[in-house]
Structure 1
Amino acid sequence: MFDFLALITGGVYWKLHSLVIGWILRLYGIRVGRRLHVRGVPRLKIRGRAENIIIGDDVTILGTIDLRNRENGVIRFCDRVTIDHDCRFVSARDGIIEVGEDSVVTAYAIINGGGSVRIGKKCVIGPRCSINANEHVFRRDVPIRDAGFVHADVILGDDCWLAANVVLMKGVHLGEGTVVGAGAVVTKDTDPYGIYVGIPARKMGERE
């Protein structure tokens, strides 16, 4: 329905839609910057502090996304960030999920906190990527669902690119300019401007 209205109004509908969504988000207590552009309806599961969800200036959200926080979890989209449709952001405990200025998170990405996930400036997170600052405890004597989690921060330097279906495990730090090939699982830190592929990801070269 939203796309149909935008089609028949030449896109004018999205301006009104964005104003209304921004107003509603502010009513919830979410901090929203100037010139928010939204093409969907955010799904909110706020069990922490609403003001810990922060949307900067000139942020673009290209569809419905899922925002969840609990305890002291923070979700921050810095200025000029673009978020594609059907992405999920979950921040818990004292974790901070931050998407840096001019970065893009493409469709179906999942970013799970508990620890912090900090994405630098001008990064591209490809479709269906999974970034996890936590991991299930898996002991024989306790069912997985009851065993809890361990946490460690995930840091991406500026100008990183994750291709489609990349998984970043807890505790990983990606050096500035890292490129990770499609389907790779990154379990260790990367060198600046390195190119990594495979399961587990291994360095295959460097950007020129």
Structure 2
Amino acid sequence: MKRRVRPEHIAMLVRGLIWQILHLRFDAIILKGRGARIWIDRKVKLQGIVKVGDFAKLDLRYTAKGTIRSGFSLGDFSIFRASGSSTFTCPNVEIGENVTFGPYCNIGGGFGLVIGANVIAGPYVSVHPEEHGLATDRPVRAQAIRGRGIRIGNDCWLGAKSTLLDGSDLGDGTVLGANTVLAGAQTDANCIYVGIPARFLRQRDASDEGAPV
């Protein structure tokens, strides 16, 4: 069956082309949704097709280096912000091929974010590669941020409303159930985790085709 080009894709392509002309960025094809906002440091390279959904924000300013590879999709109303301040530079953002975030996600770059290929994230997923100091002699908001960054392996599935906190390291093939919170821990390859905080549920196997988490 032939794939049909939908009118909204043509509109996204036109909006993306206008953005590319205005910013003199022609290293990828940008599909830009309605009301989407895009800022990308020139140290961050783009490849293939990059999609930013309706009213989403892709803010990769203040990033020392990085690559967004083909097939990246940021869902409607999602925010991907490498740095929240012009005084802080995110060291690295590396996104593999075919990485998809659903709507209403919140992704930070913080102290570094590396995502492998073929990763799926459901709606309302949060990724936070940083944390605040917690000393009691001054307010938390007045303290310096710190962090180790976050790494997500290949072929991972982040269930709806799951949260990754600083230091999290997901092995290839990790699945996080809905609402799971991984608080800076490491997961084993091809394993399923659920709960708050995340706990091991079981391993994936060849019989998991269509099985619920």
Q: TM-score, normalised by structure 2?
A: 0.81
- How many residues are matched? 194
Q: Distance in 2 between matches of 1:123 and 1:159?
A: 5
Question: Unpaired segments of 5 or more residues in structure 1?
Answer: 1-6
Please tell me whether residue 66 in structure 1 is matched to residue 57 in structure 2. yes
Matches for 1:30-69 after TM superposition, within 5 Å: 31-44=25-38, 50-69=41-60
Distance 1:196 1:151, change over 3 A: same
* Equivalent in the alignment of 2:132: 136
Please tell me whether residue 197 in structure 1 is matched to residue 194 in structure 2. yes
Deviation at 1:12, TM superposition (A): 4.1
* Letter of the structure 2 residue corresponding to residue 38 of structure 1: K
Q: Distance in 2 between matches of 1:94 and 1:183?
A: 27
Q: TM-score, normalised by structure 1?
A: 0.83
Superposed CA offset, 1:58-98 (max 9, x none) = 22222232233454444532112122112222224242222
Q: Distance in 1 between matches of 2:189 and 2:202?
A: 11
Deviation at 1:44, TM superposition (A): 4.7
Which residue of 71, 86, 101 maps to 2:77? 86
Higher strand proportion (structure 1 or 2): 1
Does the residue aligned with 2:20 lie in a helix, a strand or coil? helix
Superposed CA offset, 1:27-76 (max 9, x none) = xxxx4434322223443567xxx303433212222223223345444453
- Are the counterparts in 2 of residues 21 and 41 from structure 1 also a CA contact under 8 Å? no
| RMSD, matched Cα | 2.2
Identity of aligned residues (%): 27
Q: Distance in 1 between matches of 2:26 and 2:74?
A: 15
Which residue of 132, 153, 158 maps to 1:157? 153
